Structure 1
């Protein structure tokens, strides 16, 4: 499906992308801690909402 050259390029690109994201995050970690303190609450609310939708779907299916 993919040639060997394409697979090698994809692997190298993925590794370079991950390394660049790690460096970018480490550079901005202080800013993230200051401005995004309550993010986990939003994530928990979102997961709870999706869970409730699933429960309602299962409840009304029966």
Structure 2
């Protein structure tokens, strides 16, 4: 499906992209902890809401 060159490019691109994203996240970690404190509860509420909708769909 893909040539050998395309596969190598894709792998290198993925590795470099993951490194850059990791570095950027580490650099901004203090800002994330300051400005997004308590945002985990929004994630819990969202997942709970989706689970509630799925439960209604399967039960009714």
TM-score (norm 2): 0.97
SS of the aligned residue for 2:28 comes to helix
Aligned to 2:34: 34
Cα-Cα RMSD: 0.5
SS of the aligned residue for 1:2 comes to coil
Q: What 5-or-longer segments of structure 2 have no aligned partner?
A: none
SS of the aligned residue for 1:37 comes to coil
Aligned to 1:24: 24
Deviation, 1:38, is 1.2
Q: What 5-or-longer segments of structure 1 have no aligned partner?
A: none
SS of the aligned residue for 2:19 comes to helix
TM-score (norm 1): 0.94
The runs of at least 4 aligned residues of structure 1 exceeding 3 Å deviation read: none
Aligned to 1:12: 12
